[in-house]
């Protein structure tokens, strides 16, 4: 994969009656490979360390809240 920045753009959000949503993104092949690679890496790290992925996401959001307060 190239070291150059890639583009990842939210193209569409479809909300469903049950509260779920479907997100569609526009990205090039390099971006898609990177997203898949990093997603798999996150799942593997969480599995090996027995950390719940939701806990990771919650921690990330808490860091953003600290940075903006």
Helix or strand (DSSP H, E) at 13: strand 8-15
As for how many domains the chain has, the answer is: 1
Is 52 within a domain? yes
Is 50 within a domain? yes
Domain extent for 51: 8-68
Is 45 within a domain? yes
What per-residue confidence (pLDDT) applies to 1? 53
pTM: 0.69
What per-residue confidence (pLDDT) applies to 38? 94
Cα 17 off chain centre by: 24
Is 2 within a domain? no
Is 57 within a domain? yes
Is 32 within a domain? yes
CB of 55 within 8 A of CB of 48?
Answer: no
Q: One digit per residue, pLDDT tens: the chain, 69 residues?
A: 556 688 899 999 999 999 999 999 999 999 999 999 999 999 999 999 999 999 999 999 999 888 887
Is 43 within a domain? yes
Cβ-proximal residues to 46 (8 Å cutoff; 6+ apart), any chain: 52, 53, 56
What per-residue confidence (pLDDT) applies to 59? 94
- Dihedral-angle region of residue 50 (phi above 0 means left; psi in -120 to 50 means alpha; beta otherwise): left
């Amino acid at each position: 994969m190239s070291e150059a920045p890639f583009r990842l753009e939210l193209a569409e959000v479809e909300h469903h009656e049950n509260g779920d949503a479907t997100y569609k993104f526009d990205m090039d092949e390099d971006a898609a490979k990177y997203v898949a690679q990093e997603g798999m890496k996150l799942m593997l790290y969480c599995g090996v360390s027995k950390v719940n992925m939701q806990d990771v996401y919650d921690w990330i959001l808490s860091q953003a809240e600290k940075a903006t307060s």
